[in-house]
A and B are shown apart, each in its own frame.
Chain A
């Protein structure tokens, strides 16, 4: 299995998915070697055999640079260049850098992976997301083994629709067409693959993500408050175009005059943060919106528990695991219909992200109609408990069996 991160050496949500999925697969007797571009020399032993490419092979002229890469699941070339610039200016983030160009780095990972693959035993290549595509294709070419690409997001989702990077698109397109099978994390992603990448639908299997669904009742019941009688509507996620923070603010501005006791929290950071703070002021709701900036895992959990309502107004969300995390605390959620998670969650309010009036109306209703809030809360607990990683792991294994039988 190929990925760019693995807990505890990880940056984002896809790492968690890889971790939970491999755990489920390992329980079912699947042996996994997990290869990622970089890692420390003392990798923790876990349910998978974890390999870091930069520790396994001598790469031409760069082995002396034992540093973490900027390669990340959400990396865009633009973002990568920006991070690189920050590093050069001395505003160093943890770790370092050995390639100013993301595509170049992915190719170097491919060279290393190909070499490592020659001495490894495996039956199937399972690669996560676009950054591993060159490596996955190189291994497939070297070994002749079937390749499954696991698609968590596409370039179209990252760019909010119409400004896809042609080089990234070309790479994705090549990978999607040369892979033997694709796993899409939602029907939403599958539709993208069919409509934007012209992948034959029969080649795609939808396997929804899950969440560790044990309800956090204790946390949920001990609710923290900002002020007495005050209620909280929470946005938590990267403050970027894709996540729709602007729609959240527009809706908040419609709700605020109707409900003087409601406060809105925007938790997270991103390239739209400054613009959003200005927008809140322009809408006249600066005193009603709290911008927390970056939140840690622990702070996120506290916010979920505090919130009376969680809103995920994403413009494009291939899956969207965050509402499930909020639901673990019994917090009712409003989710964008343009998300994969809305395909699997029943007990939630759902809106089109562009329908600001609809979102505002549902926020007011969810906070005003207490009987409904209560019913939602109870069903939220019950529903979240039914999610488990067993399901996607089983589906993955079935796909492996199928692919091997071809």
Chain B
């Protein structure tokens, strides 16, 4: 018996406008509302609305058909602002009772790697959003970009989640198959659902690739590969970006027709079924899986290098999270929300240089001309936010200035210099921050961060 577990990720970031050095202290307009609105409307038109309509049709036609989604808080907010019809159609899907929603961070952030307090708060905020908008309380967790390490499983167990999603990455699996359910190391109550990346990427990446030996991908061919899992698997986890449908694979590739025909063909095999993530997690764990370092679903490397691979990304993340305690204490919900919009992982992804060097920029959408422009806009905005935070804290009074960012004269105080100041402060106050950006990044890659305040 094989359960096909379809899981889709829906996310949109709040992209920054080209915020200049001369805007610092003068403009609170961080985000490119026009661009964000137009992209949300385009994606809603090309993907969310037609694909949701298709799924509703399939749910009506096949009582056994099921699917799961995670929809980030930033995507939900953008739908509310710019595409309320898309939000309503997701609500209709959830109301069928056969579409399960997953928990993740409200802002699609890397907070698990940098600040566990923040992570807990963002997951809670997202859960509340789902309860409010969809009347569902999620029981399965997925972290930003499927980033998973042992500590996330342990965190999930303490937070009461039944399962976590992760990449079915061969170096972790070894001889084992992604088509079974596993237990998380150090968290026996938490099941791991692993992405079958071959079958998932056949649809998400290769569907319209004429250079692929299996092109064109017919429903029969694809379903037969799913059928093959019978006898050596319990689940086939097809995890993909929802924009696969209509955005990455355009309508004229036949992707909608493919999906329209797929459920009937899958269900034609007597031992096949569909399952939501929490149903799939009810399968027995075949083994315990050890993820000693973080694995993501990104790129050939499946590591964190797309977000924290270079010095610009690390400096930006360090600076951002250094403000976290103060920005939460400041008691200004609008300021906190704007800071949280900066935690969205896409901002750091735009600073990635690894594809830029290869000239492979077209495959990876970047609203900036270069990773350097992305870094400049982000750092300028962060400086403005730090200035406003300081003003807020001073007004509030009684706050320990040493714990707030040193947003002094912008020019004499470079961010990395500020970083060194902060670290000395931490060392004095017994904090456990690492001593340099370089060390920190190694730390994340090799040992996983020590848990702070979770």
Contact = CB atoms under 8 A, between A and B. Distances in A.
B20 A376 contact: no
B415 A371 contact: yes
Overall SS of chain B's interface: helix
Give the contact-size bracket for chain B.
20 to 34
Nearest to A254: B22
A364 B357 contact: no
Contact of A346 (B22, B314, B370): B370
Contacts of A358: 20
Contact of A375 (B21, B310, B373): B310
Given A258-B410, A350-B369, A370 B415 contact: yes
A361 B23 CA distance: 9
Contacts of A376: 372
A379 B359 CA distance: 13
Contacts of A383: 357
Interface string B190-215: 00000000000000000000000000
B15 to A, nearest CB: 18
A362 B21 CA distance: 8
Interface stretch (B57-65, B91-99, B134-142, B375-383): B375-383
B315 A369 contact: yes
Contacts of B372: 347, 349, 372, 375-376
B411 A259 contact: yes
A346 B356 contact: yes
- Listed residue (A258, A260, A370, A375) with the most chain B CB atoms within 10 angstroms of its CB: A375
A383 B370 CA distance: 15
Contacts of A347: 353, 356-357, 370, 372
A371 B21 contact: no
Given A360-B22, A361-B21, A375-B311, A382 B415 contact: no
B409 to A, nearest CB: 8
B116 to A, nearest CB: 24
A357 B23 CA distance: 10
Interface in A336-360: 346-347, 349-350, 357-358, 360
B150 interface: no
Given A364-B21, A371-B416, A260 B411 contact: yes
A371 B314 contact: yes
A358 to B, nearest CB: 7
B348 to A, nearest CB: 12
Contacts of B357: 346-347, 379, 382-383
A123 B414 CA distance: 60
Contact of B437 (A254, A349, A371): A371
Contacts of A382: 357
A254 B373 CA distance: 20
Nearest 8 CB-CB pairings of A with B = A371-B315, A371-B311, A361-B20, A361-B21, A365-B376, A364-B21, A259-B411, A370-B416
Given A347-B357, A361-B380, 6 more contacts: A254-B22, A369-B312, A369-B415, A371-B314, A371-B415, A376-B372
Interface of A: 254, 258-261, 346-347, 349-350, 357-358, 360-362, 364-365, 368-372, 374-376, 379, 382-383
